[in-house]
Amino acid sequence: MTNLKAILFDVDGTLSHTEDAHRAAFNDTFQAEGLDWHWDHDLYRRLLSVTGGRERIRFFIDTKHPNLKKNEGEQGLGDFVSRLHRDKTRRYGDTVASGRVRFRSGVARLIGEARSNGLRLAIATTTGRANVEKLLSENTDTRTPFDDQNIFEVIGASESAAKKKPAPDVYLSVLQQLMLPPEACIAIEDSHNGLRAALGAGIPTVITTSPYTEDDDFSGARAVVNRLGESNRPFRILHGDPLNKTCVDLELLRHWHSQNG
């Protein structure tokens, strides 16, 4: 059995419940452009099956507003989508900078515990690196068990992979940079696409569900919980052996990691 040496975190929905902030940024961008588009919770949940903000906009146009392509042409439509995505990214960054997007319950605690026990930490996400760095910057300070946003040795973001999740590319890139085999790592994800990506790279995976993904298929996960949890805010175990724990700690992660997939 290979010992656990690294924890690989997804970002959106895993480190933080960012999706409402992303959705609001999309809707504010659409309004600023004079578009009558509005992505409510249910629609956005369905759109999350498409990974990547730019790709999500394009999918929405192709399926709901196909005449735009006829009117704008492929080049014009591509430029339009890129402009929307740039504006959306700026708006999302402003929201994160306001301090309104915080780490999920148990995230800072688990990161601090992993760090103090010598585990390596990395990120594997389909969001842009700028979004990741902004989120880390706003969530690392003296109030957390760590105050160094560079605690993540590798940040695998959308720029790191030719294909986005559920393709395993970003995880394979992170493994290569860490110079570790997949069986020495565990991934923490929140979605079906993220699970498929991690498993496709051969990495054992734990799921922390989010309001947008709680109905996803998580077959193949070592464990599924509703949150990492804290002693005063315990998790709810949906799949896996909790070892009589009330939150996901390093001992429990190592237990799940050691189990056969």
Whether the predicted pLDDT of 172 surpasses 70: yes
Give the pLDDT confidence score for residue 68 in this predicted structure. 84
Instruction: Quote the pLDDT of residue 149.
Output: 56
Of the residues 10, 190, 216, 249, only one is catalytic, namely 10
Tell me, what's the pLDDT at 72?
72
Q: Closest by alpha carbon to 138, among 8, 11, 9, 10?
A: 11
Q: What is the pLDDT of residues 195-204, one digit of tens each?
A: 999 999 999 9
> Is residue 249 annotated as a catalytic residue, yes or no?
no
Range in 37-41, 72-76, 230-234 the model is least confident about: 72-76
- pLDDT score recorded for residue 74: 80
40-67 pLDDT, tens digit per residue, is 999 999 999 999 899 999 999 999 998 8
Is 10 part of the annotated catalytic residue set? yes
Q: CA 62 → CA 56, 69, 72, distances in Å? A: 10, 8, 12
pLDDT bin (cut points 50, 70, 90) of residue 148 is: low
Q: Where are the domains of the chain?
A: 6-17+102-258, 19-97
Mode of pairing for the β-strands spanning 154-156 and 185-189: unpaired
CATH 3.40.250.10 fits 6-17+102-258, yes or no: no
Sorting pLDDT into bands at 50, 70 and 90, what band is 142? Answer: very low
Does residue 143 surpass a pLDDT of 70? no
Return the closest-CA partner of residue 97 out of 144, 151, 133, 124: 133
Section 212-218 average pLDDT:
95
Spot the catalytic one: 12, 190, 216, 249: 12
| Interatomic CA distance for residues 245 and 243, integer angstroms | 5
Quick check: 219 pLDDT over 50? yes
Q: What is the mean pLDDT of the chain?
A: 93
Which pLDDT band holds residue 144 (cuts at 50, 70, 90)? Answer: low
pLDDT at 225: 98
Beta carbons of 8 and 173 less than 8 angstroms apart: no
Copy the structure tokens of residue 175. 């493994």
- Whether the domain at 6-17+102-258 and the domain at 19-97 fall into the same CATH topology: no
pLDDT higher for 162 or 84?
Answer: 84
Identify the three-state secondary structure at position 16.
strand
Buried b (16+ CB within 10 A) or exposed e, 217-230: ebeebbbbbbbbbe
Residue-wise pLDDT tens digits, 93-115 = 999 999 999 999 999 999 999 99
Tokens of 38: 């509005």
Q: Give the percent of the chain with pLDDT over 90.
A: 82
Residue 8: closest CA among 110, 131, 104, 143:
110
19-97 CATH choice from 1.10.150.240, 3.40.1280.10, 3.40.50.300, 1.10.472.10: 1.10.150.240
